[in-house]
């Protein structure tokens, strides 16, 4: 039985790890970290866990935690994992960091977009970007996983095959994403109140959102050349779900069948990536609560562009689910253990 | 492996049975009945099932179905199950009817409140009212289960201990219930459009709702005398969830501890009924997607009344989940097999 | 032109006063009080007012305000108005207080339910409870108006005729109310985040909600005897709207027509109270954005009870709209000036 | 007093015309056309109009209507207005058509994208495209107005200044739009049920949506050369509101100030177009219920693109409000008469 510790277990992503591990046969959470709720019963904060989780919330002592568990998930704001990790800890325990601290290889880029100084740049090189479908082999032996961001996961997976095969102009990519509100976290902010979010749609972080360099870096690896994108996230009145709609110029005309073959080449054996048929647009309702990403595309002969779409649950494949998938790979378990929930609809 | 057939598998309750059985180790759906979608792939209707369910929808042939499966769930409008069932079928297969056809023992009462003629009154006596926590023993040997209505399940379970123990005035009970919209079904009706339901709250079926006699009958059995209630359901802008707030006059003053002991007496060993502590009001978000009913109460010394509250997912414990729970009891399986989903929040 | 000052203009109720006064021919807001946003442009906080309101937010100086305006609306937490008002101010300016400070005539009752010490009990007697349809004559000459609470307005108006005429048992009244989230205010609280409110329904303040004594006091005046009620508010995922469903035992059997005549007697000349026909249940969508209260009732011969229902926009008739209605009465204007918005649907 | 007739008054757009005209000093609705509800009281269908509108719904007799009113609004599916209009009628009455029948000058393009044969192509040339801010002068003398589509209005107005001034590459424009559900109409369709729309986001009509040629035609007029775009609408769980996020490549680098000056040149005197400051992203909540379009932009120096954003209420400026604005221009009234509602928030 894998012993799991979570730092930040009372945020939405942390709580989702708790939910998923509850349904995992080979793992159990033994440390419910939460600075805000130390000594309170976890089930008093998340009452869905009443009579399921009996433990109390504990503080963020990573040293102590390293002795108590096999793997630590840090579901915390940027900067925390980077400030806590050290070689002693990494010798004892595997770390899956859900923050952005180890996602970007270039420290200067990280510090510029995030506006904070990196506290442990010496581990960036070692850290593996935990996009399971792409980096599976490296993940197996990793000590430190940089769990991908929600928008990057959904955007990247829906574009990846076309970029990898060099079929689209790498300077033409525009990603327009829409996200439910759980992505904004559980902090008490006026902007996230029900009355402010409901009946509203807005873009945010236009041309400045921090997930931009993360997406560009990963797409550049895939392309083998520099990719520069526009990325615009939008907040919409749902709880869960991300839909990414991406536009790129085809280098040459392609038929539906040709493109479909490209997607199938990369994803036909991937359990969690479902390539829809006949250009059916993906919808967030069809993946809610599950670790699936549904991807699809439409070739527009008129404009010579391809529209690539992906739908995903931001808390599962976009955060906690992918983190558990990484854990499964690291511990040699079936990749979908604990992640076989059928999407819940309605 | 129990072979399951569903008549009405493309309604919300039917689809929820499909979702639950997917996660059930000892059962599999082999017949996806759906008059509206015959010969269409099930996963084209419910796209969450893409790459999970490969079958096509089939027609409602109960004779043929009886030969093909071990248990039939009828998730259909009132009257259908009553018109199809017969002795030949019941000899071959167990039936769990999610409609109201066999819930009410008095045919005249059924016909009056539902406004239709009962097609097979000869089976009413035999049918067992499938409220698992109360009728567990009878369910074990039943051939035909009348799966309880959503409002009756939530209302009854939150009131039951007080009525059973004779602690409240049986003529004083008022039940004010609030339901998400999935309870209204998947029919294409203007009243259930997003723009009509969102930002709206309304009562319906005031003093005439069909679940009234069902609740009264079950409470009367518990009380050992006739119970007459007011029951008012309300439609609110959510997908899933029922909250029932019930009022009754205490026969004599009682403390919180005394009442708590009564609830614990009935529910402390019930896996699916969680009695909250310290009069914490239950909330539908804490049970969503699960088979739990959270119940709680508040004694009001000023007025001498007790307010009893229950929260439940109408599609799970209020329909498909309780149906599967009944199946588990009928087939001698652990009662919570396939029903251990942790409530999903947010 | 009536000069209006608002203390608390950046809360939801305060902002609604701003919206309504914008559409009022005889009044204009000249003081946008907001402690939290002093010196910020009002339209930077409420961007709907961009290019409509040019003013900046100002501090809460009631002395200075009394010299600058003709009427002050206090849309602030309990206790503030009571701590600021004095005889000098009341000689200069009329005050319409949207808090509870002057609603309850018995100081001890106020202090018990609100848990705070009243700072100016000497003005309680003078203050007029601003339920326009009932106290119109007293309002005309008042200096200080206690603007009614949202739940009391909706509950009272839907019950009033029956209690006033002595047709229901005054000890039998149970009020079960459902409210949108704007009633919880614009404070940054986890409980009011989109992800916590959406897909959720819960009761709160069960048997202890502060609006209980306010409703009881007003119903007791109407009845001419003491009325004691159960009142349970619920939070549901909408922005605006209150639905109150009330139950009472009829003293003697009555027909629909008899009861309808009672309601018409009190409301047929009231512009803002619409008595629906044929027991049609009121719905919050049909009053949203307007100052209307839609009321209706259903006689249940089986149980001898009457179910009385009212729907209202909590920010309009339940707060800002009724406050403006009070202002109109106090200044001798047509009662519906600035309040003729047609309900907006969808 | 202008006499108004509405064909299709019980759809969402038609009902919004009713709401707006109620608040218009110089116009009144005298004919509530509705094939589905002939002879029913209008206020029985839209109960917000109880005690406000007393009329009954009438059939679609355009001949008779032409004699009874001064202006006819057709808020009906494509093809109806085209099939009813003739020279006799146009001599008697002005027509404002909210469908697409007269928006596209090239009949072949219309017939290709809409898949129906045009019934009165002889009036296409005469019809004026009713985008008030651009075609004001032609509208004054028009007999037949083609009221713009919702997406075209919002998309066009947020892009127009840049295209008109020739500052962006006309082949580079990508419009990604998000719409509330009222845009899908009031028809009883499973896809528009609350449970299907809520907690969901999806693209639709990808590369094939009918508003594409309408936007292209208008942008081409502005550019003085052919513009070809990608346009992707998305459905999100709100009632009202459209947000359009558009991307284009700048022909040369521009500063914020330079672009702002361009937008101000076109819009500083336009009452209904608000250019936000400092690249603030527009939000649908700030325009809900009003005829405003809020536009803004962000220059992205990295990619050399400009992101242009517009927010609008699809039922007001995107349909009924713009139709009334057109009526005001045609009848020589102040352009904002009946359209001065302040946006309602929350």
- Residue in chain B nearest D236 by alpha carbon: B194
Please tell me whether the peptide bond between B346 and the residue prior to it is cis, using omega within 30 degrees of 0: yes
Res B60: pLDDT? 87
Task: Sketch the domain layout of chain A as residue ranges.
Answer: 2-126, 151-314
| Cα B338 from Cα A44, distance rounded (Å) | 26
Sign of CA dihedral D313, D317, D318, D323: positive
- Residue in chain B nearest D194 by alpha carbon: B194
Out of B198, B283, B307, name the one closest to residue C206 (CB). B307
Beta-bridge partner residues of C283: B202
pLDDT digits (tens, 9 = 90+) for A157-214: 999 999 999 999 999 999 999 999 999 999 999 999 999 999 999 999 999 999 999 9
What confidence category does residue B257 fall into, taking pLDDT thresholds of 50, 70 and 90? very high
Give me the catalytic one of A150, A154, A195, A201: A150
- Residue in chain B nearest D192 by alpha carbon: B193
Chain D contact set for C54 (CB, 8 A): none
pLDDT digits (tens, 9 = 90+) for C274-294: 999 999 999 999 999 999 999
User: At what angle are helices D321-330 and D132-140 packed, to 10 degrees?
Assistant: 40
| Cα B48 from Cα A288, distance rounded (Å) | 8
Res B179: pLDDT? 98
Chain B contact set for D198 (CB, 8 A): 194, 198, 237, 239
Chain B contact set for A46 (CB, 8 A): 345
Summarize the confidence of residues B72-89 as an average pLDDT: 95
What are the distances in angstroms from CA A30 to CA A7, A23, A50, B342, D274? 11, 14, 16, 17, 55
- Residue in chain C nearest A183 by alpha carbon: C195
Classify C19 as helix, strand or coil. helix
Phi, psi angle pair for C228, to nearest 5°? -125, 130
| Cα A138 from Cα A221, distance rounded (Å) | 15
Summarize the confidence of residues B230-252 as an average pLDDT: 98
Mean confidence (pLDDT) of chain D: 97
Summarize the confidence of residues B170-199 as an average pLDDT: 98
- DSSP assignment of B295-338 equals EEEEEETTTTEEEEEEEE-TTIIIIIHHHHHHHHHHTT--TTTT
How near does any CA of chain B get to the CA of A319, in Å? 14
Kindly state the tokens that stand for B219: 């409470």
| Cα C6 from Cα C30, distance rounded (Å) | 8
Out of D194, D199, D237, name the one closest to residue B193 (CB). D194
Kindly state the tokens that stand for C299: 């006689």
Length of chain A: 346
Chain B contact set for A51 (CB, 8 A): 274
Mean confidence (pLDDT) of chain B: 97
How near does any CA of chain B get to the CA of C172, in Å? 9
Sign of CA dihedral B9, B15, B21, B23: positive
- Other C-beta atoms closer than 10 Å to the C-beta of A201 total 28
Q: Which residues contact D149 (CB under 8 A, 6 or more apart)?
A: D100, D103, D211, D214, D318
| Cα A81 from Cα A119, distance rounded (Å) | 9
Res C337: pLDDT? 98
- Other C-beta atoms closer than 10 Å to the C-beta of B64 total 13
- Other C-beta atoms closer than 10 Å to the C-beta of B292 total 28
Q: Which fold has domain B151-314?
A: Dihydrodipicolinate Reductase; domain 2 (3.30.360)
Q: Which of A15, A47, A181, A194 to mutate to test the interface with C (most CBs of C within 10 A)?
A: A194
Res B281: pLDDT? 98
Summarize the confidence of residues D233-237 as an average pLDDT: 98
- Residue in chain C nearest B230 by alpha carbon: C303
Which of the 8 DSSP states describes residue B226?
A: -
How near does any CA of chain A get to the CA of D160, in Å? 20
Angle at C100 between CA B176 and CA C147, to 5 degrees: 90
Out of B188, B193, B194, name the one closest to residue D237 (CB). B194
Res D249: pLDDT? 98
| Cα D279 from Cα D276, distance rounded (Å) | 7
Chain D contact set for B196 (CB, 8 A): 194
Out of B47, B240, B346, name the one closest to residue A12 (CB). B346
Out of D182, D195, D237, name the one closest to residue B181 (CB). D195
DSSP H or E segment with residue C53: none
How near does any CA of chain B get to the CA of D218, in Å? 31
Q: Which of D190, D197, D201 to mutate to test the interface with A (most CBs of A within 10 A)?
A: D201
Asked if the Cβ–Cβ distance from D190 to B188 is below 8 Å, we say: yes
Sign of CA dihedral D202, D250, D283, D181: negative
Q: C2-126, superfamily in CATH?
A: NAD(P)-binding Rossmann-like Domain (3.40.50.720)
Render the burial of A117-137: b for 16+ CB within 10 Å, e for the rest.
ebebeebbeebbbbbbbbbee
Res A60: pLDDT? 87
Q: Which residues contact B76 (CB under 8 A, 6 or more apart)?
A: B7, B8, B11, B60, B98, B99
Kindly state the tokens that stand for C117: 């010490």
Pair A135, A232: CB distance under 8 Å: no
What confidence category does residue B174 fall into, taking pLDDT thresholds of 50, 70 and 90? very high
Kindly state the tokens that stand for A332: 């040699």
Res C246: pLDDT? 98
Chain B contact set for C240 (CB, 8 A): 199
Asked if the Cβ–Cβ distance from A192 to C189 is below 8 Å, we say: no
| Cα C230 from Cα C248, distance rounded (Å) | 11
The three-state (H, E, C) secondary structure of chain D, written as one string: CEEEEEECCCCHHHHHHHHHHHCCCCEEEEEEECHHHCCCEHHHHCHHHCCCCCCEEECCCHHHHHHHCCEEEECCCCCHHHHHCCHHHHHHCEEEECCCCCCCCCHHHHHHHHCCCCCCHHHCCCCEECCHHHHHHHHHCCCEEECCCHHHHHHHHHHHHHHHCCCECCCCCEEEEEECHHHHCCCCCHHHEHHHHCCCCEECCCCCCCHHHHHHHHHHHHHCCCCCCEEEEEECCCCCCEEEEEEEEECCCCCHHHHHHHHHHHHCCCCCEEECCCCCCCEHHHCCCCCCEEEEEEEECCCCEEEEEEEECCCHHHHHHHHHHHHHHHCCCCCCCCCCCCCCCC
pLDDT over 90 at B9, yes or no: yes
Which of the 8 DSSP states describes residue A284?
A: G
Q: Which of D24, D342, D343 to mutate to test the interface with C (most CBs of C within 10 A)?
A: D342
Length of chain C: 346
Asked if the Cβ–Cβ distance from C307 to B230 is below 8 Å, we say: yes
Chain A contact set for C10 (CB, 8 A): none
Q: Which region, left, alpha or beta, applies to residue C8 given φ > 0 means left and ψ of -120 to 50 means alpha? A: left
pLDDT digits (tens, 9 = 90+) for C97-146: 999 999 999 999 999 999 999 999 999 999 999 999 999 999 999 999 99
Asked if the Cβ–Cβ distance from B193 to D190 is below 8 Å, we say: no
Classify A106 as helix, strand or coil. coil
The two beta strands, D144-146 and D94-97, are parallel
DSSP H or E segment with residue C176: strand C174-179
Phi, psi angle pair for D329, to nearest 5°? -65, -45
Residue for token digits 């775009």? Answer: D229
pLDDT digits (tens, 9 = 90+) for D142-168: 999 999 999 999 999 999 999 999 999
Res A95: pLDDT? 98
| Cα D272 from Cα D325, distance rounded (Å) | 10
Q: List chains touching C (3+ CB pairs under 8 A).
A: A, B, D
pLDDT digits (tens, 9 = 90+) for C225-281: 999 999 999 999 999 999 999 999 999 999 999 999 999 999 999 999 999 999 999
CA atoms within 13 A on the CB side of B184: 27
Q: Which residues contact B319 (CB under 8 A, 6 or more apart)?
A: B13, B16, B75, B98, B147, B150
Summarize the confidence of residues C49-58 as an average pLDDT: 98
Pair C20, C6: CB distance under 8 Å: no
CA atoms within 13 A on the CB side of C165: 18
Q: Which of B188, B195, B202, B314 to mutate to test the interface with D (most CBs of D within 10 A)?
A: B195
Kindly state the tokens that stand for B257: 């501890």
Tell me which residues of C are annotated as active site.
Answer: 150
Q: Which region, left, alpha or beta, applies to residue A278 given φ > 0 means left and ψ of -120 to 50 means alpha? A: left
Angle at B287 between CA B286 and CA B291, to 5 degrees: 160
Sign of CA dihedral D299, D302, D305, D309: negative
How near does any CA of chain B get to the CA of C281, in Å? 6
pLDDT digits (tens, 9 = 90+) for A35-78: 999 999 999 999 999 999 999 999 988 999 999 999 999 999 99
What is the percent of chain A where pLDDT is above 70?
A: 100
pLDDT over 90 at D60, yes or no: no
Q: Which region, left, alpha or beta, applies to residue D336 given φ > 0 means left and ψ of -120 to 50 means alpha? A: alpha
Res D212: pLDDT? 98
pLDDT over 90 at C60, yes or no: no
Q: Side by side, which strands form the sheet with B273-275?
A: B202-203, B230-235, B174-179, B242-249, B305-312, B293-300, B273-275
Chain B contact set for C207 (CB, 8 A): 298-300, 302-303, 307
Torsion (CA) A280, A282, A283, A288 in degrees, nearest 10: 130
How near does any CA of chain D get to the CA of B182, in Å? 6
Q: List chains touching A (3+ CB pairs under 8 A).
A: B, C, D
| Cα B51 from Cα B70, distance rounded (Å) | 25
- Other C-beta atoms closer than 10 Å to the C-beta of A171 total 15
How near does any CA of chain B get to the CA of C24, in Å? 26
What are the distances in angstroms from CA B142 to CA A273, B98, C106? 43, 15, 62
Pair A79, A115: CB distance under 8 Å: no
The two beta strands, A293-300 and A305-312, are antiparallel
Residue for token digits 């907040």? Answer: A235
- Residue in chain D nearest A193 by alpha carbon: D346
Which of the 8 DSSP states describes residue A316?
A: I
Chain C contact set for D281 (CB, 8 A): none
The three-state (H, E, C) secondary structure of A153-191, written as one string: HHHHHHHHHHHHCCCECCCCCEEEEEECHHHHCCCCCHH
């Amino acid at each position: 039985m894998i012993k799991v510790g979570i730092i930040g277990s009372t945020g939405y992503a942390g709580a989702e790890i708790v939910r998923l591990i509850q349904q995992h046969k080979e793992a159990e959470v033994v440390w419910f970290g939460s600075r805000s709720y130390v000594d309170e019963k976890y089930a008093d904060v998340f009452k869905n866990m009443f009579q399921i989780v009996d433990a109390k919330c504990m503080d963020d002592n990573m040293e102590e935690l390293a002795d108590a568990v096999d793997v630590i998930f840090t579901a915390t704001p940027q900067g925390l994992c980077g400030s806590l990790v050290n070689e002693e800890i990494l010798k004892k325990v595997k770390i899956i960091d859900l923050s952005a601290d180890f996602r970007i290889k270039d420290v200067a880029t990280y510090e510029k977009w995030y506006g904070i100084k990196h506290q442990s740049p010496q581990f960036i090189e070692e850290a593996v970007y935990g996009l399971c479908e792409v980096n599976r082999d490296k993940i197996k032996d990793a000590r430190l996983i940089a769990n991908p961001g929600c928008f990057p996961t959904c955007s990247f997976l829906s574009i990846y095959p076309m970029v990898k095969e060099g079929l689209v102009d790498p300077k033409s990519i525009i990603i327009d994403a829409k996200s439910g509100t759980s992505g904004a976290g559980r902090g008490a902010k006026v902007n996230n109140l029900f009355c402010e979010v409901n009946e509203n749609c807005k873009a945010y972080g236009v041309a400045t959102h921090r997930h931009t360099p993360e997406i560009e870096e990963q797409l550049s690896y895939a392309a083998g050349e520099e990719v520069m994108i526009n990325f615009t996230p939008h907040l919409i009145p749902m709880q869960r779900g991300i839909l990414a709609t991406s536009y790129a110029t085809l280098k040459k005309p392609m038929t539906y069948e040709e493109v479909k073959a490209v997607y199938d080449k990369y994803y036909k054996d991937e359990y969690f990536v479902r390539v829809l048929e006949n250009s059916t647009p993906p919808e967030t309702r069809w993946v809610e609560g599950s670790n699936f990403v549904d991807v699809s595309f439409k070739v527009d002969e008129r404009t010579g562009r391809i529209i690539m779409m992906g739908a995903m649950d931001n808390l599962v494949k976009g955060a906690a689910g992918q983190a558990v998938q990484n854990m499964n790979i690291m511990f040699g378990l079936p990749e979908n253990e604990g992640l076989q929930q059928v999407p819940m609809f309605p």
